[in-house]
Structure 1
Amino acid sequence: MRFIEVSEDPFYELEYRSSGQGGKVREVVLPFYKAIVDELPDGITSFVISSDLQGREQNKKTNRLVGEVVAEELSLLSELGEIPSISFVALAGDFYDYPQLHKVGGTGDVTNVWNAFAKEFPFVVGVLGNHDIVKEQHLASNTIVLDGSSKKYLGVRIGGVSGIIGRSDRNQRKSKQEFMSALAKVTTVKNDLILLHQGPEDTSNSQLGDLEITNYLLSKSKSIVAFGHSHWSKPFIEIGKNQVLNVDKRLYLVTTANSVKA
């Protein structure tokens, strides 16, 4: 599975509210893009990748996390025939924002987001961001959180590492050694897709990330790597034999050219 085209023009947009600097509420637009791969296994029509949807819906009365709304919106688009049916959803972390939207960088429970996707689609796989908390006992049975582990679903093998590099006494942080050890575990097997929250540094385009992750991918990995945490203005690059996609505050519908035409 390799990308042959990653669109730069969104096919759909969703407005939501997010915490801004100085306690101000920001109006934000989430772009939905299409990414075309050369092939998908039988049984997979399309899948979705997204991260860093830190905000709340426009409806202030219900005030749900925006990820819950995105799940419903994707389901509706599929029902209307606007997009192919979605076989699974891949989450790359950070789906929380305060109910009052009063402060940037809130940490909280995103179990409802995972379960909203699980309600609408057959399978949800992902990693946790440094602002995410989940109550695993309350997660739907068709979800799996990856952390130095891999899962095969309908012929697509997905590996992932949760969290970021930092002080291990803080939420979803790992020491450099712990993070790189977890990354090594998911690259010792051939994964079609690797999900990270913290991603590599893009030295060519001066885009933020971790240089050690970059160097490791250059020497040890050949996969599609999707991540968030730091927003890149140029989201799709190659690092060695890896196709690297930054999904921070973006959503990608991954499918084949035949499915798009259908």
Structure 2
Amino acid sequence: MRLLGTRPERLATLSYRAAGPGGVPQNVQLAVERLAVDELPAGCDALLAAGDLQGVTPSPFGGDPELLGIALADYMEVWAESGLLPSADRVGVLLTGDLYSAPGADRRGASGPVLDVWLAFAAAGCPMVFGVAGNHDEVTAAQVAELGPEVALLDGDRREFGGVTIAGVSGVVGDPGRAMRRSETAFLTLVDKVSTPPPDVLLLHEGPTGSRKDQLGRIAVRGELERRAPALTFCGHVHWAEPVAAVGDGHIVNVDARVVVLTA
């Protein structure tokens, strides 16, 4: 499953509230963009990848503001009715973590429970929901596994779906005494483990540097991937204005505060 182009096409935007400097809520636009790939997992007409959905917005069906990821799952039905996306039961989902926001979008870097985001995509009927946890997510693999046989939080694991291998490493490099953090050596060891042999898709929260100066990331992770690059590596944690970069004979797609839809 390889990219056929590196310039995403804008499909839609979704307005939401996020904490700005000093925790002041601000209005933000979530870009929904499309990239073409040569093939998709069997059973899917599209894959939706997203991460760092740290904001709140009402569902398109009304009600109070809720976590952005929950609203995004609801928007899939609206976009399917308009022809923008296939129906949710034909769209696999890839999540790169950090799906929580303070309810008032008034505190930056807030951590909290995100199982309801995973539940929203599973309840929408998506045939597969695989992802990793970010450093601000409070969720366990056991909780996620209860949502269905093809719903999985990955951390040093590989899964197969529709003929495609998807691997993932959760969390970030940091103080191992804190939640969702591990030493760089431990992090790279897990990346090496799940990349041998290279999967079709690698999911990370903290990803590698890109090929441009403003495509920030962890250079040691890039060094690891250059030896055995997956066809596609999805990550977030830091935002890239240009979301795609090459690594080895594969590509990195940064989905920090962004939705990327893959279609064949």
TM-score if structure 1 supplies the norm length? 0.92
Structure 1, residues 180-237: CA drift from partner, whole Å, max 9, x if none? 1110111113311100000111254342111101111112223210100010112111
1:259 counterpart residue number: none
* Structural mapping, 1:1-262, within 5 Å: 1-58=1-58, 62-85=64-87, 86-120=90-124, 121-139=126-144, 140-141=147-148, 142-202=150-210, 204-256=212-264
Contact 2:41 2:163 in 1 (8 A): yes
Q: CA RMSD in A?
A: 1.8
Provide the secondary structure at the position in 2 that maps to 1:4: coil
**1-structure distance, mates of 2:15, 2:158:** 33
Provide the secondary structure at the position in 1 that maps to 2:66: coil
Alpha-carbon distance, 1:135 to partner: 4.9
Alpha-carbon distance, 1:103 to partner: 1.3
**CA 151–137 in structure 1, closer or farther in 2 if over 3 Å, else same:** closer
Alpha-carbon distance, 1:31 to partner: 0.7
4+ residue segments displaced more than 3 Å: 6-9, 58-61, 135-139
Alpha-carbon distance, 1:153 to partner: 0.7
The range that moved more, 167-176 or 80-89, is 80-89
Contact 2:210 2:217 in 1 (8 A): yes
Contact 1:236 1:243 in 2 (8 A): yes
**CA 222–58 in structure 1, closer or farther in 2 if over 3 Å, else same:** closer
Amino acid at match of 1:164: V
Alpha-carbon distance, 1:62 to partner: 2.2
Contact 2:166 2:202 in 1 (8 A): yes
Question: % of aligned pairs identical?
Answer: 35
**CA 39–118 in structure 1, closer or farther in 2 if over 3 Å, else same:** same
Give the length in aligned residue pairs: 256
**2-structure distance, mates of 1:45, 1:185:** 30
Amino acid at match of 1:127: V
Q: Runs of 5+ in structure 1 lacking a partner? A: 257-262
The range that moved more, 243-252 or 139-148, is 139-148
Amino acid at match of 1:10: R
Structure 1, residues 44-69: CA drift from partner, whole Å, max 9, x if none? 21111010010011479622101000
Contact 2:95 2:130 in 1 (8 A): yes
Provide the secondary structure at the position in 2 that maps to 1:33: strand
